[in-house]
Structure 1
């Protein structure tokens, strides 16, 4: 791809045209409205229920909060994000006794609590993804941890930092309003106590609120004609129904599928893991594909204890160093050794969606995109070549090849997915980008052909609310957040677009914090970002409280000038992501829908930090080293300081 004079060549015209044609096949005028909103559906209400919880056991215990309690720290979310924030608070000197967590689920783990489908594993190396390994002294069992181990580790973290008895499970906060007289957030929470008991309504006060409810928590359901008349069994992968398939989240013996024909819609990251398990047990499996995944080698293996002790975890600070090494590799920064050395660290073009060194001006966008393709082409050709090597039927192989760069859809890695399509009981139904047409009482219709099925599995992903509506944190969390002067976060972001300082706090919402995802540094390893942000906020709060005598009246709030300055920095770097708009439709570009110019500007305000995670880390370090809490106004009975 390099020219003779050392410049960057454009993508081969024939390949570029292929990418464009494949993208255009998948464009749909309805954009994101091709999916149902769960809140508006009665047929899929079951997706909001918890199939794993033991209500009787919870109801027999004393609750960790009572109506009217005044709490110092209220953390929404008990996945890795919420747990990391609580741990970082404790590490800087705050008391665990002053922290309470709430979560919809019946246990810790977030996405690893809800998702229990067969084949579930993390696609990022467990040695960098599983947080606090060094602090807990835990050695993951595999290079890529399976779901059960990830959930167990969340429990391990909660137990070590004494958070287990401080978490209100089965509960959702639906309203949070700032009381400027009391200097408290007033939160209205509903605890679901199971079908045998009435719900419990709880009103809490909290000095500080942190929202770590995640970004992929609302299952996508396609609007399919005839769904209400389908008489077969069906479920979404996010609520895998082992009563239908047999087996359990601990035992993937799907024996109830023997003699049954199964159809699965979707070939994304979840489906790539679940399809090999379905294929082992179903009489026949139809895989309905709109867009093929990019599937590279996984290389799963058990952890070698000697390698763990003598190389991986042999030095203090090893996990942070290994994570930073991974981040450096993703943005093509010079490193002496690729410590992770896997499919991710060889996907250099993924920086097209997470940012990288340098600022891309409008004039440089064509050259920038060409450079990204230069990074991507060897990987893309290797992935397509692997399809030919694995798949015996040339026609099937052709339909499994991805024709888009790695930054357009999250790449996948699996050793057993492609070989599935050599099995006689598996049929790939490629819809040539159009998707399935409809359901009848006993079949799924695609390409004007009816495929009778007994069981339908929806592997259609999640709504990425960051690209819908206001895109505000409140919208993603399903909470109405009302700050100073009665202004809601949805109203503010809906009118102006994203605005924050460092992607963690916003003007008009005192003592209210969040871990992006807008306006933060990004990496393929999201727990690194969660840990970084949790540490940054905890350190900031500790310093703010150190400056006052009466900390229970303290408020800390981003100034308007500071959030606009940070947003300006985000906009200055947003050109880096110019290649995303031309991608095949997906959650990162609002399913390819046309967007008005003013909405494009709003979306640009909510972009990641365009210079990538390495730069973002250094920006936060420099801000802390300056030591002035610049951009925050601190107010207490004995101090009123503006550090703008």
Structure 2
């Protein structure tokens, strides 16, 4: 493996001037309604969420049964929950999934150019267990989808899975000590245990643009990138969108999805208008094929070693000595540059946290300036190049990489429409789309506007009713803040387990978080079965102690959050003050692997401290 060191970044920057510029760019984009700017996908817009373009709905009789474990969601969170339950010896596992197959985000997202944005050797779980090696560093979506299906087959999760099925309501039956689950297919399932594994990116969101009905009624075509319409565009995930050759296409959104889409739309559409509220930071991708010799040299346990290494070098930690950077990409650059700078100081051990954070900030500014100057070398038109420059701190938005995105704006058939000043697209008309007071005639509008991550939890779960003991609504219970033990159980909701960004460890590698949670949930559930318990939930004291621990160890990151341009990372500019509307919620501040150690010690004690088991 080649040594991976710090990068060349510019020294001739005025940090104070950049701070002012960042604040100005943030202010241009702030909207008072926050996450309320996005439409809820119900009624006239339900088809954006509920219709599956890949698997025709097959009629079936309603399922009326008792079940041991029901997992809601068949993406990586649900697959890992099922896998670890099976490994713990738990039988009677049934998955309920609204899609036509396993895969979650990798089932729904099949847009042209879709790839993993993280190092695939870290991100794709259970590689060693299933004997699978990604074909390249940033694997294609179809490859990841195939691995999801392989996990389902390997662990027997297809047996009893209910696909193309949406849960509508869940109510706790205290007499039966079971969850009564109702679905849109008329199912009535009495589940002993429920695992909530809907994932973090399951519900597409649409910007609330006035006139969307006018455009649709006049015959204008539009769809969300997570429900790609290949009947309209032609082609496939590799591109070749031949049906767009005579079409004027509007793409709304320039986040991670937009960065992957633009090169394909630019090649194939008659004209592409890219509507940008906030530019992404876009670095080189360097998507190298997997080296067979490297793969053959790997020893058992290599993936866990690599995941830990990535976490240490990622922006969540970022100061590492005596350990090589195995991932060596745009995610770990800040860690490398910080570590080199600290190591070169006269007395690294004497540096306090304020000095380290000052170094971090300065290296952050340098990296972002490097990325902005890279744009000038790739984009010919100075005005377009300037509009594409990201003026914010690293990790204010999800970092991206591509060799093809920025050069696409040199094409004569591609127009960048910067909508920062008017805080987004203004409206749709019968003819097209209006921004900055100008109407653009288009045949098709594609929304690459992401997923509901910072909206109210009732919208993110997409279930009408979740009622625990005595009719307590989970949505009311968590309206202001989460209340859990370890982020995975909540008092008043017996035998229910949660996955996601909820009062636990946070990693830049989301699937590592799901795997950590799956292992812990499987342990608790198996112990409840083995000990003959009918119900398991946190004690009042256990839950309060955990809330106290999270609060006591919390780090005030509000200054950083509120300096960032609006987006889902900072709850559309409002920060974590909005409680469970924040992207990360309340997290365990000592770190992801510190949380892992805490859970391992808790399990090793065998006392299930903080939980109540009732026979």
Q: TM-score, normalised by structure 2?
A: 0.89
Which of 164, 185, 188 is the equivalent residue of 2:179?
185
Tell me the distance in 2 between the aligned counterparts of 1:12 and 1:587.
Answer: 25
Q: Which runs of 5+ in 2 are unaligned?
A: 1-12, 339-351
Could you say if the C-alpha distance between residues 220 and 475 of structure 1 is closer, same or farther in structure 2, counting changes exceeding 3 Å?
A: closer
Tell me the distance in 1 between the aligned counterparts of 2:250 and 2:446.
Answer: 6
Q: 1:19·1:403 contact (CA, 8 Å) conserved in 2?
A: yes
What's the offset of the Cα at 1:572? Answer: 2.6
| 1:343 is the counterpart of 2:322 | no
Residue 457 of structure 1 aligns with which residue?
A: 446
Residue 325 of structure 1 aligns with which residue?
A: 309
| 1:273 is the counterpart of 2:253 | no
Which of 577, 589, 593 is the equivalent residue of 1:610?
589
| 1:121 is the counterpart of 2:115 | yes
What's the offset of the Cα at 1:68? Answer: 3.1
| 1:378 is the counterpart of 2:366 | yes
What's the offset of the Cα at 1:585? Answer: 0.8
Residue 360 of structure 1 aligns with which residue?
A: none
1:557-636 alignment runs, 5 A limit: 557-578=537-558, 579-593=560-574, 599=578, 606-636=585-615
Q: 2:168·2:465 contact (CA, 8 Å) conserved in 1?
A: yes
Q: 1:174·1:188 contact (CA, 8 Å) conserved in 2?
A: yes
Deviations 1:478-528 (A, max 9, x none): 25221112211112112x521111111111111110113121211121000
What's the offset of the Cα at 1:347? Answer: 4.1
Residue 195 of structure 1 aligns with which residue?
A: none
Tell me the distance in 1 between the aligned counterparts of 2:252 and 2:574.
Answer: 22
Residue 509 of structure 1 aligns with which residue?
A: 493
The worse-fitting range, judged by mean Cα deviation, of 414-423 and 599-608 is 599-608
| 1:448 is the counterpart of 2:437 | yes
Q: Partner of 2:226: helix, strand, or coil?
A: helix
Could you say if the C-alpha distance between residues 347 and 239 of structure 1 is closer, same or farther in structure 2, counting changes exceeding 3 Å?
A: farther
Tell me the distance in 1 between the aligned counterparts of 2:205 and 2:581.
Answer: 24
1:381-400 alignment runs, 5 A limit: 381-400=369-388
Tell me the distance in 2 between the aligned counterparts of 1:27 and 1:388.
Answer: 27
Tell me the distance in 2 between the aligned counterparts of 1:602 and 1:564.
Answer: 21
Tell me the distance in 2 between the aligned counterparts of 1:104 and 1:349.
Answer: 42
Q: Partner of 1:165: helix, strand, or coil?
A: coil
Tell me the distance in 1 between the aligned counterparts of 2:222 and 2:354.
Answer: 45
Which of 231, 236, 245 is the equivalent residue of 1:258?
245
Aligned residues: CA RMSD: 2.5
What's the offset of the Cα at 1:151? Answer: 0.9
Tell me the distance in 2 between the aligned counterparts of 1:475 and 1:260.
Answer: 34
Tell me the distance in 2 between the aligned counterparts of 1:487 and 1:52.
Answer: 37
What's the offset of the Cα at 1:333? Answer: 4.2
Q: 1:497·1:603 contact (CA, 8 Å) conserved in 2?
A: no
What's the offset of the Cα at 1:417? Answer: 0.7
Residue 502 of structure 2 aligns with which residue?
A: 518
| 1:148 is the counterpart of 2:134 | no
Q: Which runs of 5+ in 1 are unaligned?
A: 1-9, 192-200, 352-363, 637-644
Tell me the distance in 1 between the aligned counterparts of 2:262 and 2:182.
Answer: 41
Aligned length: 582
1:53-72 alignment runs, 5 A limit: 53-56=55-58, 67-72=63-68
Residue 20 of structure 1 aligns with which residue?
A: 23
Tell me the distance in 1 between the aligned counterparts of 2:420 and 2:229.
Answer: 29
Q: Partner of 2:406: helix, strand, or coil?
A: helix
Q: 1:329·1:338 contact (CA, 8 Å) conserved in 2?
A: yes
Q: Partner of 1:563: helix, strand, or coil?
A: helix
| 1:173 is the counterpart of 2:167 | yes
Q: 2:319·2:336 contact (CA, 8 Å) conserved in 1?
A: no
Tell me the distance in 2 between the aligned counterparts of 1:504 and 1:333.
Answer: 29
Which of 36, 45, 48 is the equivalent residue of 2:39?
36
Q: 1:498·1:605 contact (CA, 8 Å) conserved in 2?
A: no
Tell me the distance in 2 between the aligned counterparts of 1:12 and 1:632.
Answer: 50
Could you say if the C-alpha distance between residues 350 and 42 of structure 1 is closer, same or farther in structure 2, counting changes exceeding 3 Å?
A: farther
Q: 1:117·1:238 contact (CA, 8 Å) conserved in 2?
A: yes
The worse-fitting range, judged by mean Cα deviation, of 615-624 and 260-269 is 615-624
| 1:86 is the counterpart of 2:113 | no
What's the offset of the Cα at 1:44? Answer: 5.3
Tell me the distance in 2 between the aligned counterparts of 1:366 and 1:459.
Answer: 39
Could you say if the C-alpha distance between residues 375 and 515 of structure 1 is closer, same or farther in structure 2, counting changes exceeding 3 Å?
A: farther
